[in-house]
């Protein structure tokens, strides 16, 4: 709720509360009867596009990293981190990387970096299956879909898949620490966060942490 | 003789039918900025710019621009319609072509439409909307012919029904929309301005799709591609229709999208049209008409077009410019950026629009002159602000190559690390004097 005085709004006198809304519980907690009514399923099932054949001219890895983070924040991420990966940090769900040109990238990791985007979650998506409860997942899917598509359009590999170690990677990127349940706890939002699909890429970046 | 009698009888019946329709659907009040003043033929979207262009009816340059060009900007390739290299990277396309979900057979009972209205607005905001309005549907707001969603499908089981029948069954229209980033919009006629426009458009499409799905989960119908967005926006109190043909909102000015709204039978309470002084401002201001690169915005008074009294822009000349500037930008946005209502959503902007709203109508011209003087003095008669964002820089002249990112030591082939690009002037293509020759002013 906000206090209104003519043209002025004073939002800091109280945060939005939905306790007077008789339908809010349905929005947050009732799982959809038809998954086709959700945007999350739509994005999850979307096929991955091709890598643009010409690589974009890049700045230094540090500047490229700041641009990737800036773009993710523009798409809606609340926190973004970058981690350097080793070969043992590859989930089984990861598709095999698209081939490069002959001789290019031989002997290198297919995806040397991971970009981790975190969004605020007012409700824990693991416990709130309604369309509203899944809103952080929807926001995370939007960010990882568009950001990975943008990196592919820059001419580099990028793939966004669900990752059981996403929160561990977020902690490695310095976005927070893991609590005893293995959940990410951030300085800004506490544990009210959702880690989006991890984007693995060969875009030359500078790792955090 | 007999034939004449039959004809008279039919005419009488038609008149009686028309009167009955008018009694059932009285002409809606749309605020002071736009009026329905005569017979209106519902618009067939197949005759609107994009479908006409897709059929090649607007000439080869426009057709090739629309169908056969790939943008040179990676962000545009993932966020703008039609200029992608890989269609799968454009999320809006995926959403617009998706399978429609089913209506939940277990309908949520709505005892209090006012509570549901507050709920659906809260849901829209929670899903990412910046502005939400509910319009009472009217047959004149609906498209003629089939459903229309750009680059997608919106078919439903009610396609054969008349606008009147649709309004009887689905009496409300929800218009929820997103605003464009003010700072990036200052680099209009530039890929930075495109980013503001296209990314917020994608977010809006996603939000509306989720809202459509949620209404179906509540157990009600949600039709898309049925209603003219501007009509729903004005009738639903989102804003007033400006000289530039855009709906102008009290918080965001003209920098809001008017996406495809949702027509529904969910019991709601409609909002009323608003008066924020756009009518009074547009009579005097004319900044959009003066700065439009193609002179597509009228300087003169409103006209009556298809029974609607409004400022009528020339959409064809607005559209025609695009193939020639494809290398620099995709969406012009000049009339949005210069509109004095387009400001950051902060207290002093709220104060100005509140003053206009509260001022008695006869006294408004004096206030408009004062506010326009302030706008010209502090924001400029035209916009040429330099904006730098993630490696983009509107201070680089169109056609020049330079890297202006501070601290960049990468070797950019063919680009200078230009310290020569200085000052706060932004460059936008094309300059107005270069377009005057192919589109003349109307007054």
pLDDT at B175: 97
Where residue B325 falls among pLDDT bands split at 50, 70, 90?
A: confident
Question: Above 80 in pLDDT, residue A106?
Answer: no
For A37, the closest of B101, B108, B115 (CB atoms) is B101
pLDDT at A27: 97
- CB half-sphere exposure, A172, CA atoms < 13 A: 17
Where residue B2 falls among pLDDT bands split at 50, 70, 90?
A: very low
For A131, the closest of B112, B210, B390 (CB atoms) is B210
Question: Above 90 in pLDDT, residue B35?
Answer: yes
Where residue A24 falls among pLDDT bands split at 50, 70, 90?
A: very high
Where residue B21 falls among pLDDT bands split at 50, 70, 90?
A: confident
Report DSSP state, residue A159.
Answer: E
How large is the average pLDDT for residues B168-174?
Answer: 97
Question: Above 90 in pLDDT, residue A13?
Answer: no
Residues B91, A43: C-beta atoms closer than 8 Å: yes
What residues does B392 pair with on adjacent strands? Answer: B389
Q: Which residue has the tokens 């580099």?
A: A156
pLDDT 10s digits, B425-435: 888 876 666 66
DSSP string, A114-157: EEEEEEE-SS-TTT--STTTTHHHHHHHHHHHHHHHHHHHTTS-
Average pLDDT along chain B: 89
Where residue A186 falls among pLDDT bands split at 50, 70, 90?
A: very high
Using a CB-CB cut-off of 8 Å, the residues of chain A touching B79 are 146
Residues A142, B203: C-beta atoms closer than 8 Å: yes
| Choice between B200 and B411, residue whose per-residue pLDDT is larger | B200
Q: Is B209 on the interface with A (CB under 8 A)?
A: yes
Residues B89, A131: C-beta atoms closer than 8 Å: no
pLDDT at B178: 97
CA–chain centroid gap for B356, Å, is 23
pLDDT at B419: 54
Residue A191 has phi, psi (to 5 degrees) of -95, 5
DSSP string, B86-123: SGGG-HHHHHHTSPPPPPPSSPPP-S-HHHHHHHHHHH
Residues A154, B409: C-beta atoms closer than 8 Å: no
Residues 6+ apart with CB under 8 A from B403: A59, B391, B410, B412, B415, B416, B417, B418
- Of all residues in chain B, the one with the smallest CA distance to A58 is B410
- Reading phi first (left if > 0) and then psi (alpha if -120 to 50, else beta), residue B225 is in left
Percent of chain B with pLDDT over 90: 67
Q: Is B122 on the interface with A (CB under 8 A)?
A: yes
How large is the average pLDDT for residues B52-74?
Answer: 92
pLDDT at B411: 83
pLDDT at B33: 97
Residues B94, A76: C-beta atoms closer than 8 Å: no
Residues A22, B409: C-beta atoms closer than 8 Å: no
Which range, of A10-19, A80-89, B80-89, averages the lowest pLDDT? A10-19
Residues B119, A22: C-beta atoms closer than 8 Å: yes
Give burial (CB, 10 Å; 0-12/13-18/19+) of B339: buried
Question: Above 80 in pLDDT, residue B443?
Answer: no
| Choice between B390 and B23, residue whose per-residue pLDDT is larger | B390
A107-121, B69-83, B206-220: which is most confident: B206-220
> From the candidates B73, B74, B357, which should be mutated to test the interface with A, based on the most A CB atoms within 10 A?
B74
pLDDT at A87: 64
- Please name the residues between 240 and 279 in chain B that touch chain A, using a CB distance below 8 Å: none
Using a CB-CB cut-off of 8 Å, the residues of chain B touching A18 are 122
How large is the average pLDDT for residues A8-33?
Answer: 80
**Contacts A–B by Cβ distance under 8 A:** 168
Where residue A4 falls among pLDDT bands split at 50, 70, 90?
A: low
Query: Measured between alpha carbons, how far is residue A183 from residues A30, A89, A113, B37 in Å?
Result: 24, 18, 22, 62
Question: Above 70 in pLDDT, residue A94?
Answer: no
How large is the average pLDDT for residues B6-21?
Answer: 51
ipTM over cut 0.85: yes
Residues A38, B122: C-beta atoms closer than 8 Å: no
How large is the average pLDDT for residues B134-146?
Answer: 93
Where residue B381 falls among pLDDT bands split at 50, 70, 90?
A: confident
Residues B99, A35: C-beta atoms closer than 8 Å: no
Where residue A16 falls among pLDDT bands split at 50, 70, 90?
A: low
Q: Is B127 on the interface with A (CB under 8 A)?
A: yes
Measured between CA atoms, how close is A109 to chain B, in angstroms? 23
| Choice between B414 and A101, residue whose per-residue pLDDT is larger | B414
pLDDT 10s digits, A53-62: 999 999 999 9
SS3 B353: helix
Where residue B417 falls among pLDDT bands split at 50, 70, 90?
A: low
| Choice between B358 and A103, residue whose per-residue pLDDT is larger | B358
> How many whole angstroms separate alpha carbon B237 and alpha carbon B138?
15
- Of all residues in chain B, the one with the smallest CA distance to A134 is B127
pLDDT at B314: 92
| pTM beyond 0.95, yes or no | no
Residues B248 and B31 sit within 8 Å (Cβ to Cβ): no
> How many whole angstroms separate alpha carbon B380 and alpha carbon B223?
43
Which range, of B9-23, B115-129, B333-347, averages the lowest pLDDT? B9-23
For A135, the closest of B112, B127, B213 (CB atoms) is B127
Average pLDDT along chain A: 88
Where residue B147 falls among pLDDT bands split at 50, 70, 90?
A: confident
Degrees, nearest 5: CA angle A108-A209-A198: 60
> From the candidates B100, B410, B414, which should be mutated to test the interface with A, based on the most A CB atoms within 10 A?
B410
pLDDT 10s digits, A132-171: 999 999 999 999 999 999 999 999 999 998 889 999 999 9
Give burial (CB, 10 Å; 0-12/13-18/19+) of A12: exposed
Query: Which pair of structure tokens corresponds to residue B145?
Result: 């012919």
Residues B74, A43: C-beta atoms closer than 8 Å: no
Where residue A99 falls among pLDDT bands split at 50, 70, 90?
A: low
How large is the average pLDDT for residues B99-107?
Answer: 93
């Amino acid at each position: 709720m906000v206090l209104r005085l003519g043209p002025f709004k004073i939002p800091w006198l109280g945060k939005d509360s939905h306790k007077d809304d008789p339908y809010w519980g349905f929005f947050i907690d009732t799982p959809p009867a038809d998954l086709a009514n959700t945007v999350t399923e739509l994005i999850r099932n979307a096929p991955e596009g091709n890598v643009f054949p010409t690589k974009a001219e890049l700045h230094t890895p540090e500047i490229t990293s700041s641009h990737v983070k800036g773009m993710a924040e523009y798409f809606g991420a609340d926190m973004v981190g970058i981690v350097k990966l080793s070969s043992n940090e590859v989930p089984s769900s990861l598709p095999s990387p698209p081939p490069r040109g002959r001789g290019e990238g031989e002997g290198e990791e297919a995806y040397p970096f991971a970009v981790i985007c975190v969004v605020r979650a007012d409700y824990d998506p693991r416990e709130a299956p309604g369309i509203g409860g899944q809103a952080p997942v929807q926001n995370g899917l939007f960010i990882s879909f568009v950001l990975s598509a943008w990196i592919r359009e820059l001419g580099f590999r990028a793939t966004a898949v669900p990752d059981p170690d996403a929160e561990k990677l977020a902690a490695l990127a310095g976005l927070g620490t893991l609590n005893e349940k293995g959940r990410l706890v951030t300085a800004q939002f506490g544990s009210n966060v959702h880690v989006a699909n991890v984007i693995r890429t060969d875009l030359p970046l500078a790792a955090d942490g | 003789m007999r034939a004449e009698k039959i004809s008279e009888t039919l005419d009488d019946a038609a008149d009686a039918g028309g009167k009955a329709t008018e009694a059932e659907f009285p002409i809606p009040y749309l605020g002071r900025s736009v009026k329905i003043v005569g017979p209106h033929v519902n618009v067939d979207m197949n005759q609107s710019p994009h479908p006409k262009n897709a059929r090649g009816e607007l000439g080869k340059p426009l057709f090739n621009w629309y169908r056969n060009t790939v943008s040179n900007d990676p962000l545009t390739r993932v966020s703008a319609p039609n200029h992608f290299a890989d269609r799968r990277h454009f999320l809006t396309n995926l959403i617009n072509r998706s399978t429609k979900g089913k209506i939940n057979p277990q309908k949520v009972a709505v005892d209090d439409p006012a509570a549901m209205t507050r709920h659906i607005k809260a849901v829209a905001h929670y899903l990412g909307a910046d502005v939400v309005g509910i319009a009472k549907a009217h047959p004149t707001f609906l498209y003629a012919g089939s459903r229309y969603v750009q680059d997608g499908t919106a078919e439903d089981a009610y396609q054969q029904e008349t606008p009147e029948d649709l309004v009887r069954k689905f009496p409300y229209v929800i218009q929820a929309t997103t605003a464009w980033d003010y700072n990036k919009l200052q680099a209009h006629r530039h890929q930075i301005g495109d980013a503001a426009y296209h990314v917020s458009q994608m977010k809006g499409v996603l939000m509306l799709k989720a809202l459509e799905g949620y209404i179906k989960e509540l157990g009600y119908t949600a039709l898309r591609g049925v209603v003219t967005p501007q009509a729903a926006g004005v009738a639903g109190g989102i804003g007033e229709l400006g000289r530039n043909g855009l709906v102008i909102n009290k918080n965001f000015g003209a920098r809001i999208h008017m996406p495809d709204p949702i027509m529904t039978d969910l019991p709601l309470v409609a909002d009323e049209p608003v008066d924020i002084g756009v009518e009074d401002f547009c009579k005097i201001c004319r900044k959009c008409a003066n700065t439009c690169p193609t002179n597509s915005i009228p300087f003169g008074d409103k006209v009556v077009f298809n029974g609607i009294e409004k400022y009528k822009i020339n959409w064809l000349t607005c559209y025609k410019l695009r193939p020639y500037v494809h290398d620099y930008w995709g969406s012009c946005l000049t009339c949005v950026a210069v509109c004095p209502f387009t400001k950051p959503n902060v207290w002093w902007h709220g104060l100005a629009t509140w003053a206009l709203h509260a001022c008695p109508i006869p006294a408004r011209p004096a206030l408009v002159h004062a506010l326009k003087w302030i706008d010209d003095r502090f924001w400029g008669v035209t916009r040429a602000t330099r904006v730098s964002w993630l490696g983009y820089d509107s201070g680089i002249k169109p056609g020049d190559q330079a890297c202006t990112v501070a601290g960049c030591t990468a070797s950019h082939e063919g680009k200078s690390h230009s310290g020569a690009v200085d000052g706060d002037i932004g460059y936008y293509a094309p300059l107005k004097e270069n377009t005057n020759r192919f589109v003349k002013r109307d007054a």
